[in-house]
Amino acid sequence: MAGLMASVWCTLAKFLQRSPGDMFCWGNTVNGELGLGGIEEENILSPRELSFAKSTSVLQVACGWHHSVMVTDNGQVYSCGSNDFGQLGHEKTRKKPEMIDALSAYVIIGASCGANHSLAVNEWGQLFSWGSDSHGQLGMSQEMDVQPKPKIVKGLATCHVIQITCGLNHCLALTNRRYSSVERKPTLIRSLRGIPIAHIACGGSHSLAVSKSGAVFGWGKNEYGQLGLNDNSNRVFPCQLKTLRSIKVKYITCGEDFSVFLTKDGGVFTCGAGMYGQLGHGTTTNELLPRKIMELMGSIVSQITCGRRHTLALVPSRGRIYGFGLGGAGQLGTRVARNATTPQVVLGPWVSPSGSSVVKAEIPSKHAKNCVVKRIFAGGDHCFAVVTRQEDHVNPDDCREFVPKTQILIFTVSDANKCARLPPNESVDQDFMTYIETVFSSQACINSSFLLDNDEHYCCTSRHHGINLSTAEQCFSSLGKVENSSIKDLIFSCVKEHLLPSLSPSPPDVETLRVYMTLPFYIEFENPRNYEILHNPFGRAVLALKSEAARIVGLWWRKAPIDYFERLIRIFKDVVVYLLWHCDKDREINRVSARSDRQNPNLFVPLEILGHLHKLNNIDLKVPYETFCLPELTEKIDIRVDYVHWLSESIQRPTQSSNIYFCSYPFLFDAQAKTLILQTDQSLQMQSAMNQAASQALRNILFAPYAGPVSAFLELTVSRENIVADTVRELSKYDKNDLKKPLKLLRIKNILKAMKLHFAAGLLCGLAIYNFTIIDLPFPLALYKKLLKQKVTLQDLSGLSPALARSLQELLDYEGTDEESVFCLTFEISREVFGEVKIHELKPNGGRIPVSHENKQEFVDLYVDFILNSGVEKHFMAFNNGFHKVCGGKVLELFHAHELMAVVVGNENYDWEELERNAEYKNGYTENDKVIRNFWEVFHELPLEQKKKFLQFLTGSDRIPIQGMKSIKIFFQPTPDEKYLPVAHTCFNLLDLPRYRTKERLKYKLLQAIQQTEIFALV
């Protein structure tokens, strides 16, 4: 990594050497901080060329309160100014820049100055400090007031420092792994862990940082509002400046008690102390919130820099530097020693891109003539400007464009491809290994990777994660092809030992949550054997997130592409399957869920994550419910026992259960498993009802011998002529225990065509479910959702009235704002009831409230609520009471609404080949008999409607049970006389099929028989 950084630095330096520049300076020079030598003037009121041999190679100038440090393109460091605290790093002349010999052996690439101390960082990321250490600002961990010679900061020796900045008596250092403040020794700022910091800045006694996607954090002194938090309370922990989140801040610079923010579009915002006009708003008042400098609007500012109480801004399109704030020492460069509360042009000799200049150079030189500003620097009460020749066409630096060497590392597609190309057993370059280790050990690096191009990742919110998921998938896909064991093992180790353990339940910002989007792409998540190392730690981190963070991650997952969401489901389903099939049964298998004294903690996390995903999916049904199903469950565990223990414990200890039951995760059950559970519940309740009947019969024999007999069955006696009235009369005779007995003597078609009693309808619906009888009850899905206490929506209305639902949706989708004149609606609706039109107001005085663009969503919501809830509340409650009198209990919690509906009315997922495969033959018939072969040939040639008629002829319904066609078994038995039609025994799915001699006669007789289905029958 150090070699890579050195290469970048050398390339940049060579480029700069081809573009010679010069330096100008102005402001206070009492202590020689401008490097002009032993001149009599103490204040330079306008830019003056600096006679310094290395001026054409200076890359950076760091300004302290009364000293300056200059870094050249070959990595040498020069300093001048006050040396009262050893801040120059040498004992040479103070009035002119002199080399710091203690750093001559290093290639220095950056420097920063505080009031009386200095920092420098070299190409290897090593940090040096010198000067005053009165507050521990040098990070030396030593009780020394002054350190006159640069020394390496050992506390950061193992870190690669990429940015440094100094305040009055404190420092910040940004590393590829950590973000540290320098106290007596460097200390990690843990509250910013995981945030991909792009830039750091220090003021007098406050600090600011901006993330890769524009989130700004501030902490420290806030007496004048310099933190921009709309108050003047100091902060001991970083706090986000939420007002700046959406304006795309790219760069920050600070004065002693104020702060300046530069946005992507070149706007400048300021806040804090304004008594000298340093905020640029034309006043001397303080600002508690960042406020845009209106005088600079219309100009694109590319650089900003601050002294103690003044500010400079560069507008490259005009070739102008603007200054405002304290000007008593000439630091505004306006030739007068006075303050300015609005931006004033610095009267320097440089020109604009068009060649025009404000003033001519006072001392002609090859650089002062037709020069263009490349970079500006300020600090204390003095300023510098680095210029280049106009004919060299060197673009000015742009603070809005991050220099790669100052940014934390990211992982790219090219890096992933490089990993994939490495031969299996070849040794890997150590720098590259260090790079891989750094990236995959750091949340911040991962959160900074795979971002959308062109700054589209800015304004990271709950609705915009800013990640290019395609790029992330491509990178991790390439990593899946890596054959080099050193790379594979290193990445796995970093994720396991560093990345996952660093995930916090209370992350500091939304940007830190990006890791929850990208990490599941890691190829090792496809291997369920890693459940203890990857899946469960990751899952525990998700489950431990605080409510707001969990909500954001959930929203990102829900809005992700379908294949991503399915991937999340699949990797955790695979863990459950793996644990069920491959772990040691005595230790891991969840058959112990049937035993209350055991539990499997490894299953808990994947099951809870699947439960979380299922809840997210229920919001807008991103994937079909079947995506969550695990057919393997019925093969590996006894779900009937699981249900019994789950039911028992939920009754005895409803809030204290610590055991794991699959019935707590019913979305994993397929139709077969849920039907089996329903049968179990039915058996339990039927057995209980029959036992009660037997007990009652015994008591009657002993104590009431003249009482009537007690039946163990629910018997309904009905007549053809009065089928509706008889059914209602019979049902009303029984209490809820009797209704749970086995049903006898009922087979009804379209009974509800004449039934108006909603309670009886609910009873009948419950009986159909309870007795696994498919019955033609033409109720919409919304009814079943209401029975399960699920919210009904406009989408559910479409199942009841498609035309009305479409009309309401058209109202919502209308893009104009003139709904009042186009739709002419008010908050009232009219309905025809038995020929009479009735008006209903959706809200008080609704007839006088027009439906507008602002309230149309409320109108639709109230309309849907009236149709599906309040308008039918009385009737539904009667139906609901009747239904739950038979079919209440926790077993219903296991079903989706559409599954409950399918139990009642069946479904149309026909698989006719499955019907043939399940068939059985008896009393002489075999599957190879000619008659049987002819039958199946005829049957498969029939159109769908005729096949459905045969199904109704055979089973009593043209729909199939929720379990699918495999649950229907047809039995064939022969009859001797072929003059008869086939006969169906619907109780047993038994078909009497005569031995027809020809295929044509079989088809003729079969078609005759299946037309005879519209009758009343008993089973």
Q: Where are the beta strands (DSSP E) in 203-273?
A: 206-211, 216-220, 235-240, 249-254, 258-263, 268-272
Bridge-partner residues for 130, per DSSP?
A: 118
Q: What is the rounded distance in angstroms from the CA atom of residue 67 to the CA atom of residue 100? A: 14
The alpha carbon torsion through 547, 548, 552, 558 (nearest 10 deg) reads 40
The alpha carbon torsion through 24, 25, 26, 30 (nearest 10 deg) reads -150
Q: What is the rounded distance in angstroms from the CA atom of residue 389 to the CA atom of residue 369? A: 8
Q: Where are the beta strands (DSSP E) in 842-956?
A: 920-921
DSSP state of 503: -
Q: What is the rounded distance in angstroms from the CA atom of residue 25 to the CA atom of residue 32? A: 12
**157 neighbors 139 (Cβ within 8 angstroms):** no
**261 neighbors 270 (Cβ within 8 angstroms):** yes
Q: Cβ contacts of residue 973 below 8 Å, gap of 6+?
A: 921, 922, 923, 924, 925, 990, 991, 992, 993
CB environment 16-31: b (16+ within 10 A), e (fewer)? beeeebbbbbbbbbeb
Q: What is the rounded distance in angstroms from the CA atom of residue 960 to the CA atom of residue 771? A: 15
User: Which of 837, 829, 814 lies closest to 865 in space, CA to CA?
Assistant: 829
**219 neighbors 193 (Cβ within 8 angstroms):** no
**174 neighbors 145 (Cβ within 8 angstroms):** no
Bridge-partner residues for 108, per DSSP?
A: 122
Pairing between β-strand 206-211 and β-strand 197-202 as defined by DSSP bridges: antiparallel
- Phi/psi of residue 668, each to 5°? -80, -20
**71 neighbors 113 (Cβ within 8 angstroms):** no
User: Which of 572, 942, 901 lies closest to 769 in space, CA to CA?
Assistant: 901
Q: What is the rounded distance in angstroms from the CA atom of residue 830 to the CA atom of residue 804? A: 13
Report, in this order, helix, strand and coil percent for the chain, each rounded to 5.
40, 20, 40
Q: What is the rounded distance in angstroms from the CA atom of residue 965 to the CA atom of residue 967? A: 5
* Tokens representing residue 102 in the block: 């203690």
Pairing between β-strand 743-744 and β-strand 714-715 as defined by DSSP bridges: parallel
Catalytic residue check, 987: yes
CB environment 403-420: b (16+ within 10 A), e (fewer)? eebbbbbbbeeebbebbb
Bridge-partner residues for 714, per DSSP?
A: 743
Q: What is the rounded distance in angstroms from the CA atom of residue 442 to the CA atom of residue 317? A: 40
Q: What is the DSSP string of 523-550?
A: GGGG-GGGIIIIIHHHHHHHHHS-HHHH
- Phi/psi of residue 148, each to 5°? -75, -20
Per-residue CA distances from 308 to 90, 257, 288, 326, 790 (Å): 25, 8, 18, 9, 63
Per-residue CA distances from 5 to 366, 404, 408, 418 (Å): 34, 9, 12, 18
Q: Which residue numbers are catalytic? A: 987
